Amino acid sequence: MKKYLSIFFVTLLAMAALTGCSGGTGESSGDNTSNVSTTDTTQAGTSDNVTGVTATGEATYGGTVVVGIQQDIDSLDPHTATAAGTKEILFNIFEGLVKNAPNGDLICAVAESYELSEDGLVYTFTLRQGVKFHNGDLVTAEDVKYSIERCAGLLDGTPLVSTMKTITAVDIIDEKTVQVTVDSVNPELIYSFTYAIIPNGSADVEGADPIGTGPFRYVSYTPQEGIIVEKNEDYWQEGLPYLDRVEFKIITDDKTATLELQAGTVQLFSYLTDEQATELSKTMQVLSAPSSTVQALFLNNAVEPLNDVKVRQAIMYALDKDEINLFVGGGDATVISSSMLPTLEKYYVDLNDVYGTGANVEAAKQLLTEAGYPDGFDLVISVPSNYPVHMQTAEVIVEQLKAVGINASIDAIEWTSWLSDVYTNREYAATVCALTGDSTPGYLLSRFVSTSSKNFINFNSAEYDEVYEKVVAATTMEERGDYYKELQKILVDEAGTGFTLCIANKVAVANNLAGYVFYPVYVQDMSTVYYVAE
Amino acid sequence: MKVFNMSSAKGKKVNIYLIIGAVMTGIIVVMAIVGIFWTPYSTTAMSAKERFAAPSWQHLFGTDNFGRDIFSRVMKAVGTSALISVLVVAISAVAGIVLGAITGYFGGVVDAVVMRIVDAINGFPSILLALVIISLLGKGRQNVVLALAIAFTPSFVRIVRGEFIRLRDADYVVRARLMGVAKPRILFVHILPNIFSTFWVSVTIGLNNAILAESGLSYLGIGVQAPDATLGSLLSDAQASLASSPWYALAPGLTIVWTVLGVAMLSEGIGKLKK
C-alpha cells in the first residue's frame, strides 16, 4: 500500500514540476479504492461478509445520506475557512481550477488544462467549457480572475491564502484563458489552485448563499446542527454525483455517533476511535486508510516552563508513543516524531530514534533536574472534547507524564473555544490535537516558522527560519526535499512539540452504501458514494 | 406492605426496610470511605496487557479500555458521586429551610415573590436547568454542585413552606408568639424540630435524585474531568464498548441501582419509624 502511495506522489510531483492535468474524471470507483483496506479488527468473520456486499452491489442513483461530522464548521467562505473539518465538507460544494484526486494527483476541474512557462513564473489556464455555478451561470474568466485575486490579496492587500501571495497579476487573455504571473518560482504553488472558484463579487455580498461549481449545491446551514447539500444536476463530471442529497449532521459526542450509526439515522462517519471501529464492525462496513493528519501533544513554547528546551525534551522522553498507539490507535497507527506525513515517503525522515518511541523516565527526570524542576511542575492540557481520540490520548499522556513527576491535568474544552483560545489566541500550555496535511509536502512544516500566523505553538528557532528561507528559494522539489528533512530534524532536536501518531482513518459506512473513496488529503468526497441495488 | 413487617420473637415489629436500606447504604458508604484511602489497584495506572479483561478474582469488575481496574475506579467514583450528591442536598436543604420557613410563616409579599421565583425554577427540568447554569459558569466539580443545588432548592422550599403553613397557627406556636418569643427562635427552635420527620424523607429522596442527576450530567460529559470519574462518567465511557465488554457498563450501572435502592429503602424505613 505504501508502494502505491509513493508511486502516486512521485507522479504528482513530476506533474507539478512540468505541466498539464491527468484530465481523469475520477469516475471509476474500482481504481480509487486501491489504497483502501478493510480494518483488521477481531471480527474478521463478519467484516468479510460485509465487504462482500460492497463488491457485488450495483450502483443506483438517488437517495439521501446522512454523514456525521465531529465539529461545527467555521466558515462557509471557502477562502477563509481554516478548520480541516470545514474544508472536508466544502470540498463537495466548491472546486478550484484544479482539484485533488484520490490517488494524490491533481485533476483539472474548472480549468481544462494548464501550462507553466519555462521560467516557472507564468501559469496559463484554459477554462473548461460549460462549467456552471450552482446558480446556473456559466463560469467566466472574470470569475476566475476575481477568485484568484481574492485569494492572493490583490483586491484589498490581504492574501487569504498565504501561499498565493507571490501572485502579482491575473490577466484575462481571452474568454477561456487566464494567465497568472508570480514573482518567484514555487513548485508547490499549483496545489493552491485547488482553492475555490466563486462567482465574481459574490464573496462581498453579505449573507449570500455560498455558490460553487462542485458536485453538490448548498441548501442550508444551521449552526450546531449541520449543513445540507443537494445534487448539482449540471455537474461537469458525467455521471456524478449519485446521491440526491447529503446531510452533514454535527455529532460532537462519540457515543451518540455510535448509537446513531447503529440505529441507522447516520449512514457514514469518519475518524472512528479504535473502540468504535471494533464495535461498529459487527454491524457495518468499517474501512480504514492512512490518514492525512499528524497528532501531537502540542506545547506552547512561549509559556513557563515549556519555554525551556530541556523541559520540552524531558516531555519527549516521557512520552511512550508505542503505548499511545496501542491504546488509541488500535496498534495500527504510525508512530511519528516530526511534522511530516509518513505517507510522503520522499520527504519523510524517520526520527523516532532521537527520543525513542518508548518512555525513558531516567532521561526525562535528569533533564527536568537540569532545568530546575526536579519535582516536576503542573501542566494543564486543553483538549477539544469532541475528539474522543485526542481525549483518550491526553488521558494516556497524563499517566505517562506522572511517571516523570509532571502533574498534568486535562481541561476538556469545546471545539469553538479550542479554535479561539488555543489556536488563535495561543492562551494555553499544552494541547492534544492533530494537524492536517495537504498534498504539498511543505504545508505541515511551514507553520513552524516563527513569524507564521499558524505557528500556534510559538516555536521560535532562528535555524529553522533560516532553512525555511532556503526552501522558499529552492526551485526544484529535490532541493526542497533535502531542506524539508533538515526542518524535521530541527523541530525534533528543539523538541518543539511532541508528535505522537499518524492515526489510521477508520470510516463506518452503512452496508447498503458503496463507492466511498479515501483521499491523501483531508476531504470527504460524497460524489462517488452510492446506494447499491437490493 | 404488611407482608414485610415480620414479627420477631418478642412480638415487636421488625422494620425490614430500615435494615435492608441501612445494610445496602452502609456497604456503599464503606466503599466510598475506603476508596478515599485505599483501592485494590491504582485508579489511573494503565496496563496495555490487560485491556478489556473480563471480571476475574484479580479484577472483580474487569478492566477498561486502558487496562485500569474497574472495581477500583468504581470505588473512587462512588466517593466522588456521593460527595457531590451530599453537598447538593445539604446546600439545597439549608436554602430550602430558610426560604421555606420565611415564606411559610410570614406569607404576604415575600411569600408571593419568592414562590413565583421558585415556580419559575421548577418550570425547567432539573437537568436542563443544570446544563444552562454549567454552560454559564463553566465545567468543574464546584459548578456541578452549585448548578444541581439551585435546581434542587425549589422542592425543599415547597415542602418546608407547606409544613410551616400547617404549623404556624398551632397552639404552641401561638402561645410562643404571645409570650413575645423572638421570630427566629419560633421558626427554628419551636417549629423546625416538628417538621423533621417529613423533611428527612424528602432529604433521602433528594439524595437519590441528586445521585441520578449527577450521573446524568457526568454521562453527558460535563461533570468531573478525566481521569477522575463519577458513576455517570464511567457509564458514559463504558458505552463505547457496550457490546464487546458489557461488564464495564454493568459495574457502574449496578452500583447506581444499588445505591439508589438502598437510600430509597432507608428513607422508607425512616418514614415507618415515625409511625
pLDDT single digits (tens) B37-56: 888 888 888 887 788 888 88
Does B39 touch chain A if contact means CB atoms closer than 8 Å? no
Q: Kindly report, residue by residue over B197-229, the tens digit of the pLDDT.
A: 788 888 888 888 888 888 888 877 777 776 778
A408 touches A398 (CB < 8 A): yes
The total number of residues written for chain A in this structure: 534
Which cell numbers hold the place of A108? Answer: 483539472
* ipTM for this prediction: 0.71
The pLDDT of residue A57: 65
B240 and A409: CB-CB below 8 Å? no
Q: Which residues contact A85 (CB under 8 A, 6 or more apart)?
A: A69, A70, A71, A73
A399 and B44: CB-CB below 8 Å? yes
Does the pLDDT at position B36 exceed 60?
A: yes
Amino acid type, B191? I
Residues of chain B in contact with residue A253, where contact means CB-CB under 8 angstroms, are: 221
pLDDT-derived band at B7, boundaries 50, 70, 90: very low
CA A5 to chain centre: 16
A326 and B48: CB-CB below 8 Å? yes
Residues of chain A in contact with residue B236, where contact means CB-CB under 8 angstroms, are: 255
Does B141 touch chain A if contact means CB atoms closer than 8 Å? no
A346 touches A441 (CB < 8 A): yes
- Secondary structure string (H, E, C) spanning chain B: CHHHCCECCCCCECCHHHHHHHHHHHHHHHHHHHHHHCCCCCCCCCCCCCCCCCCCCCCCCCECCCCCEHHHHHHHHHHHHHHHHHHHHHHHHHHHHHHHHHHHHHCHHHHHHHHHHHHHHHHCCHHHHHHHHHHHHCCCHHHHHHHHHHHHHHHHHHHHHHHHHHHCCCHHHHHHHHCCCCHHHHHHHHHHHHHHHHHHHHHHHHHHHHHHHHHHHHHCCCCCCCCCCCHHHHHHHHHHHCCCCHHHHHHHHHHHHHHHHHHHHHHHHHHHHHC
Q: Which residues contact B1 (CB under 8 A, 6 or more apart)?
A: none
Does B135 touch chain A if contact means CB atoms closer than 8 Å? no
A352 touches A325 (CB < 8 A): no
The pLDDT of residue A398: 92
Residue of chain A whose Cα is closest to the Cα of B43: A399
Contacts 24+ apart (CB under 8 A), B251-258: B251/B61, B251/B62, B251/B70, B251/B71, B251/B74, B252/B74, B252/B77, B255/B28, B255/B74, B255/B77, B255/B78, B255/B231, B256/B211, B256/B212, B256/B215, B256/B231, B256/B232, B258/B24, B258/B27, B258/B28
Angstroms from A484 CA to nearest CA on chain B: 35
- Give the residue-averaged pLDDT of B116-134: 85
The total number of residues written for chain B in this structure: 275
A240 touches A527 (CB < 8 A): yes
A412 and B45: CB-CB below 8 Å? no
Which letter does DSSP use for residue A54 in this model? H
Peptide bond into A374 cis (omega under 30): no
Residue A448 belongs to what H/E stretch?
A: none
Cα separation of A268 and B181, whole Å? 73
Does B48 touch chain A if contact means CB atoms closer than 8 Å? yes
pTM for this model (two decimals): 0.74
Identify the three-state secondary structure at position A108: strand
Contacts 24+ apart (CB under 8 A), B28-33: B28/B78, B28/B82, B28/B255, B28/B258, B28/B259, B28/B262, B29/B82, B31/B75, B31/B78, B31/B79, B32/B75, B32/B78, B32/B79, B32/B82, B32/B83, B33/B79
pLDDT-derived band at B98, boundaries 50, 70, 90: very high
Cα separation of B104 and A159, whole Å? 68
Per-residue pLDDT of chain A (534 residues; tens, 9 = 90+): 444 444 444 444 443 333 444 433 333 333 333 333 333 322 232 232 223 234 346 788 888 999 999 888 888 888 888 888 888 889 999 998 888 888 777 888 888 888 888 888 888 888 888 888 888 888 888 888 888 888 888 888 788 888 888 888 888 888 888 888 888 888 788 888 888 888 888 777 766 788 889 899 999 998 888 999 999 888 888 888 888 899 999 988 888 888 889 888 999 998 888 888 888 888 888 888 888 888 999 999 998 889 888 999 999 999 998 888 888 887 888 888 888 888 777 788 888 888 888 888 889 999 999 989 988 899 999 998 888 889 889 999 999 999 899 999 888 888 888 888 899 899 999 999 988 877 777 888 888 988 888 889 999 888 999 999 888 888 777 888 888 888 999 999 988 888 888 888 888 998 888 888 888 788 888 888 888 876
Per DSSP bridges, beta strands A245-250 and A64-69 are parallel
Where residue A495 falls (left for φ over 0; alpha for ψ -120 to 50; beta otherwise) is left
Residue of chain B whose Cα is closest to the Cα of A382: B225
User: What is the number of helices (H) and of strands (E) in chain A?
Assistant: 15, 23
